[in-house]
Amino acid sequence: MKKKLELNIVLNSRKKLEFRQTLECLSESLLNDCSDLKIQESQDDDVFILLIQWNSANQMRRALHTNDFGILIGAIKSLGKNTGIRLDDKDIGNDLSKLMTL
């Protein structure tokens, strides 16, 4: 069964460029670990939405434990102000560490 993760990331002010650069560096390797990756960037606000989809729960679990995903989480924690997390269209809060327990 396909799994879909949505991260709604509100960045600290003036951190948008740093986060965009991190995503550019990671996006190819992240895409190798999932079936689809969409990155939406707000033009007016410091908001990014990442939509990541996997073909199975096992593929998702493996991807969430890769070094590249760990780097992404670290960037979100250091550059972000608030993150909303949705899994399969269900709100699971804003604690990024929950992703490691899925």
List pLDDT tens digits, range 34-74. 999 999 999 888 999 999 999 999 999 999 999 999 999 99
CA 36 to chain centre: 12
Q: How far is CA 47 from the centre of its chain?
A: 12
Q: Which residue has the tokens 């992240």?
A: 30
**Residue ranges of domains in the chain:** 3-97
Q: What is the pTM (predicted TM-score) of this model?
A: 0.94
3-97: what fold? Alpha-Beta Plaits (3.30.70)
